[in-house]
Structure formats: C-alpha cells, structure tokens
Amino acid sequence: MIDTHCHFDMMPEPERYIKEAEERGDIIIGMTNLPSHFRMGMGHVQGFKHIRLALGMHPQLVTPDTIREMTLFKELVDETSYIGEIGLDFSRAFRPNRDMQIDCLRQILAILKGKSKIISVHSCRAEKELLELLTEYETRNVIFHWYSGPLTLIDQILEKGYYFSINEAMCLSKNGSKIIQAVPKDRILLESDAPFNDRCSLKNVRARVGLEEKQLIANFKQLISRLRIPEQ
C-alpha cells in the first residue's frame, strides 16, 4: 500500500506506526504542518526505507509569525524530495487570513521553482486560486489531496499533469464519489490523512473504487520517476 498523505507525526506513537508500515513494505509520505515539525521529525525517519517525510507549511497555520517558519523552510528545502502540506484554505474560519496565506504560498512556490519535488496540496474552497498560483509558478508534480472543489476544474488540473489523492471519506460522500469518477484511474493515488480522518482505510478505498494495487503502484512510480528528470 502507498499512503501519499498521512500525518504520522501527529499520532500518539509515530515510531510504532511507521515501523509496522515499514515491516509490511508499505510506503508512506508523511506530511508536516510546519517546517519546525519537519526539523524535529527528519531524524526519526532517516533509518526507514519506505517512509518519507515532507516539508510543509499548512495554510491553516499561517500567522504573522510565519516569517520565522519560512526562514526554516528555505533552509530545509533541500533535505527532502517531498513537500506538504502546503496550499490555501478559504473556508470560513481561515478566510480572514486569505492574503497572508497567498503571500506565504507565493514565497513557497518561488523557493520551489526549478527544484524537483513531489508536492501535496490542500485546497479548501480555494481550488481555483491555488491552480492559478501553481500555473503562474510553473509548479510540477502536484498531488491534490482530498479535493472537494468544483468538478469543472478537474480537467484543468489533469491537463497540468497533476494527480489526486483520494481517501475513504471521499468514497463515502456523494460529492467525493463524483470527483473520483471524474479522475482517470492513472491519475489516482491513495491517502489516509490519518489521524485527522476516521475513514482512512486504504484497503476500503481500493475496494470501493475498484482499483488494483498494481495500477496504484504504477501511478506512484510514474510520478516519482519525474524526480529524476532535471527541470528546464
């Protein structure tokens, strides 16, 4: 199994969780919500073969103090090939920080420009704005995590070569099912978003969507093979 969006650093026993996953041969891309979390966690995953840690700056955590975290982001960016969770969140609670979030994301995308990374993005009620920024900065290798935006935007996201990581909760919702149907099978990856998601079984998603493990592995391989292609 390949979990492309998991927050194991927020679990009560992260080391046990990743050790068990490693023993099963599972691959996990662990998100972090702040660069300081990444710095704390990176030493703990270094001995693992299949567990990766992504450098993130969660849009819900953007505050005027983020400037300090962004200094750290710049310092740490070359420590990993994985970036996340980053993005935009314009849902009611976070909308007041909209301009700050955009400013922070612009800084991140500018730092990432010309670097070869796999990037997991959060796009709550801000899908169009996010896609515009990714386009402006010519960001590549993006995975839209738990997409819940308009169906009409999916084709544009696909045209960019981007992927969608889907979870069990999406399969169980009407809107989520429509989104999953609109994405071709070769652009689907799985995610748990654990521990923030009670419906996080990868096995159940695979069964519900009728995806074969072989296909999912091929999709992931296709995406990470781009890490080896130098940027223009």
How many whole angstroms separate alpha carbon 232 and alpha carbon 190?
Answer: 29
Find the shortest distance in angstroms from Cβ 7 to Zn ion.
Answer: 6
Find the shortest distance in angstroms from Cβ 31 to Zn ion.
Answer: 5
| Between 145 and 206, CB nearer to Zn ion | 145
Cα→Cα distances 207→16, 52, 66, 203, 211, Å = 26, 25, 41, 6, 7
**Contact assessment for residue 179 and residue 164, using Cβ atoms and an 8 Å cutoff:** yes
Piece in contact with Zn ion (CB under 5 A), picked from 37-45, 77-85, 170-178, 224-232: 77-85
Tokens 């071709």 sit on residue: 184
| Between 164 and 232, CB nearer to Zn ion | 164
Q: Are strands 188-190 and 142-145 parallel, antiparallel or unpaired?
A: unpaired
| Between 185 and 199, CB nearer to Zn ion | 199
| Between 59 and 102, CB nearer to Zn ion | 59
Lay out the site mask for Zn ion across 191-220 (x = CB under 5 A, - = otherwise): --x---------------------------
| Between 125 and 185, CB nearer to Zn ion | 125
| Between 89 and 193, CB nearer to Zn ion | 193
Site residue total, Zn ion (CB under 5 A) = 2
Find the shortest distance in angstroms from Cβ 56 to Zn ion.
Answer: 9
Q: Which of 66, 53, 69 is closest to 9 using CA atoms? A: 53
Look up residue 21 and give its DSSP letter: H
How many whole angstroms separate alpha carbon 68 and alpha carbon 39?
Answer: 13
Piece in contact with Zn ion (CB under 5 A), picked from 11-19, 158-166, 187-195, 207-215: 187-195
Site for Zn ion in 78-97 (CB under 5 A): 85
CB atoms closer than 10 angstroms to residue 35:
22
**Contact assessment for residue 163 and residue 144, using Cβ atoms and an 8 Å cutoff:** yes
Find the shortest distance in angstroms from Cβ 120 to Zn ion.
Answer: 8
Cis ω before 59 (30° cut-off from 0): no
Find the shortest distance in angstroms from Cβ 1 to Zn ion.
Answer: 17
User: Which residues of the chain form contacts with Zn ion (CB under 5 A)?
Assistant: 85, 193
